[in-house]
């Protein structure tokens, strides 16, 4: 009888080990399905703040942040983005601290701005979302010129 208990104990331990291994594998795969997007901003001015917005492929706002500017370059990392999805970054450089994009009467921006893929808008408005999208395939770094 004692040997049977040992075998049952081993089966239970093996079952616990298998379940724990499956859980760890699941968690590892869930973590592996996320990546970071680091954005380097090239700036013309060394003061003010960057107002940064990340949207998904359906134009839903995923994250916004305000980043103080102290040099001609700045950097921000969006963390844990879904691999396989596409995202767009839009930024404007608030030079006067009023926390809004200043425009001329014609709605053309007075302050520097930029979009992912360094696409530019036209007199009719900002570039299309599809032109701005970046597909996440792993940790990535992009650069945006803010002018």
Assign residue 128 the CATH number of its domain: 2.60.40
Q: Are residue 7 and residue 50 in the same domain, yes or no?
A: no
Q: Are residue 8 and residue 38 in the same domain, yes or no?
A: no
Q: Are residue 50 and residue 116 in the same domain, yes or no?
A: yes
| Segment 60-84, tens digit of pLDDT | 999 999 999 999 999 999 999 999 9
In this prediction, residue 122 carries a pLDDT of 83
Q: The domain containing residue 129 runs over which residues?
A: 34-145
Q: Are residue 76 and residue 123 in the same domain, yes or no?
A: yes
Q: Which residues pair with 56 in a beta bridge?
A: 87
Q: Are residue 10 and residue 45 in the same domain, yes or no?
A: no
Q: Are residue 56 and residue 9 in the same domain, yes or no?
A: no
Number of domains forming the structure of the chain: 2
Q: Are 53 and 62 in contact (CB under 8 A)?
A: no
Q: Are 140 and 86 in contact (CB under 8 A)?
A: no
- 85-113 core/surface letters (b: 16 or more CB in 10 A; e: else): ebbbbbbbbbbeeeeeeeeeeeeeeebbb
Radius of gyration of the chain (CA): 24
Q: Are residue 23 and residue 52 in the same domain, yes or no?
A: no
Q: Are residue 41 and residue 7 in the same domain, yes or no?
A: no
How far is the C-alpha of 10 from the C-alpha of 131, rounded, in Å? Answer: 58
In the predicted model, residues of the chain with pLDDT beneath 50 are: none
In this prediction, residue 123 carries a pLDDT of 78
Q: What are phi and psi of 85, to 5 degrees?
A: -90, 165
How far is the C-alpha of 10 from the C-alpha of 7, rounded, in Å? Answer: 5
Q: What are phi and psi of 116, to 5 degrees?
A: -60, 155
Q: Are residue 53 and residue 122 in the same domain, yes or no?
A: yes
In this prediction, residue 111 carries a pLDDT of 97
Q: Are residue 61 and residue 126 in the same domain, yes or no?
A: yes
């Amino acid at each position: 009888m004692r040997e049977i208990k040992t075998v049952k104990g081993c089966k239970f331990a093996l079952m616990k080990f298998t379940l724990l291994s499956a859980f760890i594998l699941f968690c590892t795969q869930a973590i592996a399905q996320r990546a970071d997007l680091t954005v380097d901003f090239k700036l013309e001015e060394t003061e003010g703040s960057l107002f940064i917005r990340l949207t998904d492929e359906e134009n839903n706002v995923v994250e916004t942040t305000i980043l103080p500017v102290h040099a001609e370059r700045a950097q921000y990392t969006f963390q844990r983005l879904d691999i396989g999805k596409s995202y767009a970054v839009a930024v404007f450089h608030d030079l006067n601290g009023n926390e809004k994009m200043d425009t001329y009467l014609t709605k053309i921006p007075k302050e520097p701005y930029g979009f992912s893929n360094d696409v530019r808008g036209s007199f009719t408005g900002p570039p299309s979302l599809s032109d701005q999208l970046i597909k996440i395939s792993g940790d990535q770094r992009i650069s945006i010129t803010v002018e």
